[in-house]
Structure 1
Amino acid sequence: MKRVVISLGGSIISMEKLNLEFMEEFSRMLGNIKGYDGFGIVVGGGKLARTYISDLRKYNVNDNILDEIGINATRINALAMTTFLDDVNSKIPTTVNDAAEMMHDYRYVVMGGTEPGHTTDTVAMLFAERINADVMINGTSVDGVYTEDPRKNRNAKKIDRMNYDDAIKLSIDSSIGAGSNVFMDITSLSIAKRSGIKIFVINGLKIDEYINILYNGTCNGTIIE
C-alpha cells in the first residue's frame, strides 16, 4: 500500500487567524492526487498554541501543563482541517496507534499531538513508521533546511540534500543558544533514520511542492535520506 504522511506546521495553518484559503486549496489538491492508498496528516498548534502558552508561562504554569495545552491546540487545528476533506476521520485520534487503525477506514487521517515531550514532527514520523510510509513531507514556514536560520542570517545557505546523520548534527547545533530555531527535532530525525523514511522539508504554503513530491519525488526544498 502506498501511503504518505504530511506534517503541516502550525505556522502555516494557524497564523493571526486560521489560514482557511490554504486549508481549502491543500485539501482540493490531495483530492486530485492519484496512485496513493492513504494520507496521514499531522497538524501543529501555531498561533493558537503560542498565545495560550506564552500568556500562561507568565504565571509560572509548569511545562507539562503547557505541553498539554499545546497538544489540545493542535487537535483543534486538526479538527478544523478535517472539515475540508472527504473520506476523513470525524474524531481526532489521541495516539499514533489509533490513527493507524483509522487508516483502514479512511483515505485521510488527520491528527494533532499525542503526549507531552513529543513534537508534531515526531508524531508524524512515528505515524509514518507505524503505517509503513516511505515518505514524510514536512511543510514549514521556511523553504528548506539552511546552514543557519535564514531569518537571522542572510548568508545562510539552503541545503538541497543531506543524510540523516548530518541532519541530526545540524539539529543539535541549531538547538543550542537562546532563540534557537530547529527545522526538525532530533527524535523525529532518529526515527526516520532507523526506518529509512525519506523526508522532504518544504515551504508548506506552496501547493506545487506537494504535487512534485507525490508524483515526481522532487522538490525545491531539502531532501533528507
Structure 2
Amino acid sequence: MKYKRLLLKLSGESLMGEKQYGIDPAMLEQYALEIKKVHEMGTQIAIVIGGGNIFRGVQAEKAGIDRVQGDYMGMLATVINAMALQSALEKNGMYTRLMSGIKMEQVCEPFIRRRAVRHLEKNRIVIFGAGIGNPYFTTDSTASLRAIEVEADVVLKGTRVDGVYTADPEKDPTATRYDKISFQEVFEKNLNVMDMTAFTLCHENNLPIIVFDMNKQGNLLKLAQGEDVGTLITA
C-alpha cells in the first residue's frame, strides 16, 4: 500500500444518493464496503464528513438565522452523518472511534490529538465530527487540519467528479481534467478544489491532496495502492 495513514474527506451530499434529502442507507453501505477493502490491507484511515445533506451553516443566513448559530447547527449535522457512517462501518466488522470538536460525551469522544493517533495506531477507523468546534470553518478546513495533526500522508477528497477540471464539467462539456497539478497552479488559475483556508493549510504543510470520484467502486482501493486515479495536487 502506498499510504500508511490517510484522511478521507466525504461530502454530506454524497450520502443522499438518489434522495433529495437525508441519508440513503445504500450509499452508507457502499462507502463502508469501499473503506473496508482499504482498511483490511493495513492502511490507517481517518474520516471527515460534511453535513450538507441535513443542514448547511452558510444557508442559515438566508433564512434569517445568525451565522454563528447556523454554523453550530451545521456542526451537529456532521455528527449525525458521522454516527450513521460509524454504524455502517461497525456493522461490516470494523472497529471505529467517533471524535468530536464539540463535547458531547454520551455520543462520542472529545478530540484529543494524542488519543486520535493512538486509535489509528491500533487500526481503529477514526471519524472526526463537529468540524473543529468553531464557526466560520468548513469541513474542508477540518479535513486539512486533522490530517496535519494526525500526520496523515495524504488527503483524499471524495466527490461526484473524477478530479479537478479546467472548468465545471457538469456545466462546460469542453472542460478537461488535470492528472496532476501544483498548489501554485491551482492558486493562479483560481480552480475550485477546497476553500482557501483548507487549501492553504495543505500547501504550507506540503500535504498532497487527491480529488477523485468516490462513487466509482474500487477507486479508493486503487488510490491507496498508488494507482493514478483522479487529480493529484502537490508541491
Alignment TM-score, normalising by the size of structure 2: 0.80
Whether 1:94 and 2:83 are equivalent positions in the alignment is: no
Give structure 1 regions of 4+ aligned residues with deviation exceeding 4 angstroms. none
Report how far residue 53 of structure 1 moved: 6.2
- Give the residue type in structure 2 aligned to 1:108: I
Whether 1:203 and 2:213 are equivalent positions in the alignment is: yes
| Alpha-carbon displacement from aligned partner over 1:58-110 (angstroms, at most 9, x marks no partner) | 44212222211111111111111100122101x44217952652341351011
| Alpha-carbon displacement from aligned partner over 1:21-76 (angstroms, at most 9, x marks no partner) | 222122223223344352110001122114x864x544421222221111111111
Distance in 2 (CA, whole Å) between partners of 1:23 and 1:57 is 30
Identify the match of residue 161 of structure 2 among 142, 145, 161. 142
Structure 2 contact 144–202 (Cα < 8 Å) conserved: yes
Distance in 1 (CA, whole Å) between partners of 2:114 and 2:8 is 14
Identify the match of residue 2 of structure 1 among 1, 4, 26. 4
Give the percent of matched residue pairs that are identical in Structure 1 and Structure 2. 27
Whether 1:28 and 2:37 are equivalent positions in the alignment is: no
Identify the match of residue 184 of structure 1 among 176, 184, 194. 194
Change in CA separation of 1:29 and 1:151 when aligned onto 2, cut-off 3 Å? closer
Identify the match of residue 110 of structure 1 among 89, 106, 127. 127
Q: Which residue of 2 aligns with 1:49?
A: 55
Q: Which residue of 2 aligns with 1:38?
A: 44
Structure 1 contact 149–156 (Cα < 8 Å) conserved: yes
C-alpha RMSD of matched pairs (Å):
2.3
- Give the residue type in structure 1 aligned to 2:222: N
Single out whichever of 124-133 and 141-150 deviates more from structure 2.
Answer: 141-150
- Give the residue type in structure 1 aligned to 2:46: G
Identify the match of residue 159 of structure 1 among 174, 178, 194. 178
Report how far residue 2 of structure 1 moved: 2.1
SS at structure 2 position matched to 1:67: helix
Structure 1 contact 13–23 (Cα < 8 Å) conserved: yes
Q: Which residue of 1 aligns with 2:82?
A: 78
Change in CA separation of 1:83 and 1:100 when aligned onto 2, cut-off 3 Å? farther
Distance in 1 (CA, whole Å) between partners of 2:161 and 2:136 is 23
Structure 2 contact 168–175 (Cα < 8 Å) conserved: yes
**Number of residue pairs matched?**
212
Q: Which runs of 5+ in 1 are unaligned?
A: 175-181
Structure 2 contact 10–158 (Cα < 8 Å) conserved: yes
Change in CA separation of 1:100 and 1:205 when aligned onto 2, cut-off 3 Å? farther
Q: Which residue of 2 aligns with 1:68?
A: 72
Report how far residue 217 of structure 1 moved: 4.0
Q: Which runs of 5+ in 2 are unaligned?
A: 103-109
Structure 2 contact 164–211 (Cα < 8 Å) conserved: yes
SS at structure 1 position matched to 2:126: strand
